[in-house]
Amino acid sequence: MNSIAAYVLADGFGGFLKESLYIHLGRTYDQVFGAPYATLLQGFLALGLMWFILYRMYRKKIFIKI
């Protein structure tokens, strides 16, 4: 339903979300499971945050239309 918001979040704010994770969780939060899984953990947490934002928008009936 919010495909435009999902695209903007992923493309425009994806880097911002990942950098925010570094700021709030520390520079080595992605090393919890070792170096091979660092990008997987980063992606999983960024996807989780984006999903949460989109879910909240859906529950509050906030839809972006053009």
Model confidence pLDDT, tens digit, residues 16-51 = 888 888 888 888 888 888 888 888 888 888 889 889
CA distance 50 to 32: 22
Tell me whether residue 65 is in a domain.
no
Count structural domains, the chain.
1
Tell me whether residue 66 is in a domain.
no
pLDDT at 14 over 80: no
pLDDT at 5: 87
48 CB-side CA count, 13 A: 7
* Residue 34 structure tokens: 């070792």
pLDDT band (50, 70, 90) for residue 64: confident
Range of the domain at 19: 3-59
pLDDT at 1 over 80: no
pLDDT at 46: 86
Tell me whether residue 13 is in a domain.
yes
